[in-house]
Amino acid sequence: MTGPTLAGTREELSALLAPARAAGLPVGLVPTMGALHAGHASLMRAARAAVGDGPVVTSVFVNPLQFGAGEDLDRYPRTLDADLAVCAAEGVDIVFAPSVDEVYPSGTATPGVTVEPGPLGTVLEGAVRPGHFRGVLTVVAKLFGLKDFQQFALISRMVADLCLDVEVLGADTVREPDGLALSSRNRFLDAEQRRQALVLSRALRATQAAAHDGRDAALAAGRAVLATEPAVEVDYLVVTEIDLDELPAEVPPGTPGRVLVAARLGATRLIDNLPLVIGGER
């Protein structure tokens, strides 16, 4: 099996992509922080399907700008050799694994021009992790000009607002057979925390099922499930419109929305979400 070509600098990446760009081929990018799992692999397959004969690039970069004080930057897993094996198995052409100095030549304390996420970047994850989405959008913009639905929504808005010649594609969350969303942070859970973490997907499904009776009934159902695992510290459980705007208590039956949850198990923080429909027939 031929593995992907590894690039560590912008110049190397640009040289590797030059033939495709000269031929007018699309380029697929799967931006990651490494510690790759089956969820990332599904995105690589989606990128291949989208670009056809064009190259697929996977970036592996633990972005310090999106970690706040006290978060797990130093603890975040770095597994480049294993990541390269995943990329090889999925037919990725190029892995871009830059250093921090390559991405932020002036340093992360004064990173220069950053992308401000606007109001959507200050709620939910943005409220719990101030500055997180500034870091996410800045590094994505630097790289190339759906477990984390808020991140997907913000990147889509950035691409539209900045008129970037980029198509942002979403994909369904990949889950374990028992419903736990795949995450690079799952490896930090011990056996008991792994069991407790299942309450997140159960709460999402309960919220989704009760949404036929309205927003408040849906939230009550989800919160009741979360309360069955008191060791799980819930940051939020919310029901929003599909674009993550605040959802009023009264909406027309059949209104599409999203339920999002974030919680902590010890030092590990997990997020998840599902679509739902408010009101209408069961």
- Kindly state the DSSP code that residue 190 receives in the 8-state scheme: -
pLDDT attached to residue 20: 93
List the structure tokens of 54: 């064009």
pLDDT attached to residue 280: 65
In the predicted structure, residue 231 carries a pLDDT above the cut 90:
yes
- CATH 3.30.1300.10 residue ranges of the chain are 184-278
For residue 40, indicate whether it is catalytic.
Answer: yes
pLDDT attached to residue 245: 84
Q: Which of 65, 30, 68 is nearest to 269 (CA)?
A: 68
What are 155-188's pLDDT values in tens digits?
Answer: 788 878 877 777 777 778 889 999 999 998 999 9
- CATH 3.40.50.620 residue ranges of the chain are 5-117
In the predicted structure, residue 42 carries a pLDDT above the cut 70:
yes
CB 211 within 8 A of CB 276: yes
CB 29 within 8 A of CB 144: yes
pLDDT attached to residue 260: 95
Q: Fold for 184-278, please state it.
A: Pantoate--beta-alanine Ligase; Chain: A,domain 2 (3.30.1300)
Q: Where is 14: in which H helix or E strand?
A: helix 10-22
Cα(259)–Cα(141) distance, integer angstroms: 27
Q: Which residues contact 34 (CB under 8 A, 6 or more apart)?
A: 60, 61, 62, 77, 78, 79, 80, 83, 184
**DSSP codes of every residue in 124-150:** THHHHSTTHHHHHHHHHHHHH---SHH
Cα(280)–Cα(282) distance, integer angstroms: 7
pLDDT attached to residue 156: 81
pLDDT attached to residue 225: 98
Cα(122)–Cα(130) distance, integer angstroms: 7
What are 107-131's pLDDT values in tens digits?
Answer: 766 566 677 778 888 878 878 887 7
pLDDT attached to residue 113: 60
Please pick, among 37, 40, 132, 212, the residue that the annotation labels catalytic. Answer: 40
Where does the pLDDT of residue 152 fall: very low under 50, low under 70, confident under 90, or very high at 90 and above?
Answer: confident
Q: Fold for 5-117, please state it.
A: Rossmann fold (3.40.50)
From 62-76, 90-104, 107-121, 238-252, the region with the lowest mean pLDDT: 107-121
What are 54-65's pLDDT values in tens digits?
Answer: 999 999 999 888
